[in-house]
C-alpha cells in the first residue's frame, strides 16, 4: 500500500510539473483519466512495468466508470497523503496552514470526523440541508447531499481558481487568478504554482464594488452577499455615512473599505487597528498590498476574512484571530470577539 502511494506520487509530481505556469491541477495535461476512471472495474496491473494495480473501491462497478464512490475517490488522494492537499479534518498531508481548512462529514456515510472537526464547524459532506440564506433550486446536490463536485469541476477549468465551478447554477461566476507575479485584474493571487497554504494566497479587488469570491458563495448562500444599498445587505454604496444614516443589515462582504466612513470611521471600523496587528485575517485589496498603512486604505472584508471555505475546529468555520501569537487554521488562540476586533474597536 505504501509503495503504491509513492509511485502514484511520483506520477502526479511529473504531471504537476508540466503545468507549472498554470498552478492548476486536474486540468489539461494534468487531468489523468486513470486517476479516477477504470474501463472495466478491473485491472491486473498498472500502466508502467512494475507499477501496482491502482486501488478500486469495494462496491463497484460505479457510475461513470469511477474507481470508487465519488467522495471516497477524491479522499483517496485528498486525505492523509503526502502528495496532495488534505481537505478532510486534521491536516495529514502537505505541511503548512491550509487556506481552505478541513471539511467534516455527516454520520452514516463511512467517514469518521477527526477530533474537533464536528458538523457545526464548516461544510459537511453528504449534508442534505438547504444552504443557509439560500434556496434548494440553486443547490443541485444529488440524493447523496453535498459533495466535492457541487463546488469543484472534476475535469478542471484552467482559468478558474481551484477549479471552482462556473457552469450551471454557477454560470458567470468567474474567479480568476494570477500565479507567481500578481496581476491586479485577477481575483486571487497565488504566490507560486501548486501551493495551498494561507501565506501563499491573497485576494485582489479588480472591481472595488464587488467580490467574485463572495458572489461565488452567493450561488448557494443567496442572501448573504451583495453591494452596499442592496435590499438584503443595507448600507449604501461605499459603506455607511459619517452619521450612520444608512446602516448595514447584514455584514458587508464587498464594496466598503475598512475605516472608510469619514468622521465615524474609527467608530464603525478602524484601519489603524487592523494595520497594527501582526496576525491579520485576509481582506481584498485593489492595490495588492494588504497592509493598511500609508496610502493603503483600500482593504475590504469578504467571506474568507471570517470563514475557512472547507471549515476548521471553530463553529461555522470562523477564524478567531487575536492579532499576535502562533497562527493555526483556527486563528491564533483568540475568541469570537477577537475576530470582530481585527477591524472594530468595540469591546476593549
Query: By CB under 6 A, what part of segment 98-157 binds ligand HEC?
Result: 98-100, 103, 120-124, 127, 129, 131-133, 139, 146, 148-152, 154-155
Name every residue whose Cβ is closer than 8 Å to that of residue 1 and which is 6 or more positions away in sequence.
none
Among 222, 233, 277, 306, binds ligand HEC (CB under 6 A): 306
Helix (H, G, I), strand (E, B) or coil at 209: coil
The cell for 76 is 483517496
Is residue 163 part of the contact set for ligand HEC (CB under 6 A)?
yes
Show the site string, 310-329: x = touches ligand HEC by CB under 6 A, - = not: x-----xxx-----------
185 versus 285: smaller Cβ distance to ligand HEC: 285
Backbone angles phi, psi at 67, to 5 degrees: -80, -15
Min separation Cβ 50 and ligand HEC, Å? 18
Among 74, 179, 277, 284, binds ligand HEC (CB under 6 A): 74
Is residue 72 part of the contact set for ligand HEC (CB under 6 A)?
no
Is residue 19 part of the contact set for ligand HEC (CB under 6 A)?
no
Question: Residue 61, preceding bond cis, omega within 30 degrees?
Answer: yes
Min separation Cβ 132 and ligand HEC, Å? 3
184 versus 200: smaller Cβ distance to ligand HEC: 200
Min separation Cβ 212 and ligand HEC, Å? 11
- What H or E segment, with its residue span, contains residue 179? strand 177-179
Of 232, 257, 228, the residue nearest 343 (C-alpha): 257
Among 38, 62, 69, 71, binds ligand HEC (CB under 6 A): 71
Footprint on residues 220-259 left by ligand HEC (CB under 6 A): 220-221, 224-225, 235, 239-240, 244, 247-248, 251-253, 256, 258
| CA distances to 4, 9, 20, 72, 73 from 59, in Å | 21, 25, 36, 12, 12
Min separation Cβ 153 and ligand HEC, Å? 8
Of 193, 190, 148, the residue nearest 309 (C-alpha): 148
Is residue 210 part of the contact set for ligand HEC (CB under 6 A)?
no
186 versus 310: smaller Cβ distance to ligand HEC: 310
Is residue 92 part of the contact set for ligand HEC (CB under 6 A)?
no
Is residue 271 part of the contact set for ligand HEC (CB under 6 A)?
no
98 versus 186: smaller Cβ distance to ligand HEC: 98
> Helix H segments across the chain?
2-17, 33-36, 70-78, 212-218, 265-268, 271-275, 303-306, 336-340
Is residue 277 part of the contact set for ligand HEC (CB under 6 A)?
no
Q: What angle do CA 282, 285, 291 make, to 5 degrees?
A: 70
Is residue 186 part of the contact set for ligand HEC (CB under 6 A)?
no
Helix (H, G, I), strand (E, B) or coil at 149: helix
Is residue 125 within 8 Å of residue 118, measured between CB atoms? no
| Buried/exposed 323-333: b ≥16 CB within 10 Å, e otherwise | beeebebbbbe
Is residue 182 within 8 Å of residue 194, measured between CB atoms? no
Is residue 122 within 8 Å of residue 308, measured between CB atoms? yes
Min separation Cβ 303 and ligand HEC, Å? 3
Is residue 89 part of the contact set for ligand HEC (CB under 6 A)?
no
Min separation Cβ 20 and ligand HEC, Å? 9
Amino acid at each position: 500500500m505504501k509503495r503504491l502511494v509513492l509511485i502514484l506520487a511520483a506520477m502526479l509530481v511529473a504531471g504537476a510539473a508540466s503545468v507549472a505556469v498554470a498552478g492548476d491541477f486536474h486540468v489539461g495535461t494534468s487531468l489523468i483519466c486513470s486517476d479516477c476512471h477504470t474501463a472495466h472495474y478491473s485491472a491486473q496491473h498498472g500502466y508502467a512495468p512494475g507499477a501496482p494495480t491502482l486501488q478500486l473501491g469495494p462496491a463497484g462497478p460505479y457510475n461513470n466508470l469511477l474507481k470508487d464512490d465519488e467522495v471516497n475517490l477524491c479522499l483517496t488522494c485528498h486525505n492523509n497523503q503526502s502528495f496532495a492537499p488534505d481537505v478532510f479534518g486534521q491536516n495529514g498531508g502537505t505541511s503548512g496552514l491550509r487556506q481552505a481548512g478541513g471539511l467534516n462529514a455527516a454520520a452514516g456515510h463511512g467517514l469518521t470526523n477527526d477530533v474537533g472537526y464536528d458538523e457545526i464547524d464548516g461544510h459537511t459532506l453528504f449534508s442534505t440541508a438547504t444552504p443557509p440564506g439560500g434556496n434548494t433550486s440553486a443547490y443541485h446536490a444529488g440524493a447523496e447531499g453535498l459533495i466535492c463536485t457541487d463546488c469543484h469541476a472534476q475535469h478542471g477549468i484552467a482559468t478558474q481558481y481551484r477549479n471552482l465551478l462556473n457552469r450551471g447554477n454557477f454560470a458567470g461566476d468567474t474567479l480568476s487568478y494570477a500565479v507567481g507575479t500578481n496581476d491586479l485584474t485577477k481575483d486571487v493571487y497565488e504566490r507560486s504554482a501548486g501551493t495551498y497554504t494561507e501565506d501563499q494566497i491573497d485576494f485582489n479587488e479588480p472591481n472595488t464594488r464587488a467580490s467574485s469570491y463572495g458572489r461565488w458563495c452567493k450561488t448557494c448562500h443567496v442572501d448573504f452577499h451583495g453591494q452596499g444599498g442592496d435590499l438584503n445587505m443595507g448600507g449604501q454604496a461605499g459603506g455607511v455615512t459619517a452619521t450612520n444614516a444608512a446602516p448595514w443589515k447584514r455584514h458587508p462582504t464587498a464594496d466598503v473599505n475598512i475605516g472608510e466612513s469619514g468622521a465615524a470611521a474609527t467608530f464603525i471600523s478602524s484601519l489603524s487597528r487592523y494595520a497594527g496587528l501582526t496576525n491579520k485575517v485576509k481582506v481584498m485589496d485593489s492595490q495588492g498590498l494588504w497592509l493598511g498603512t500609508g496610502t493603503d486604505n483600500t482593504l475590504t472584508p469578504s467571506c474568507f476574512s471570517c470563514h475557512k471555505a472547507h471549515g476548521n475546529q471553530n463553529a461555522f468555520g470562523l477564524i478567531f484571530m487575536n492579532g499576535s501569537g502562533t497562527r493555526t487554521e483556527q486563528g491564533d488562540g483568540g475568541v469570537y470577539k477577537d475576530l470582530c476586533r481585527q477591524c472594530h474597536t468595540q469591546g476593549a
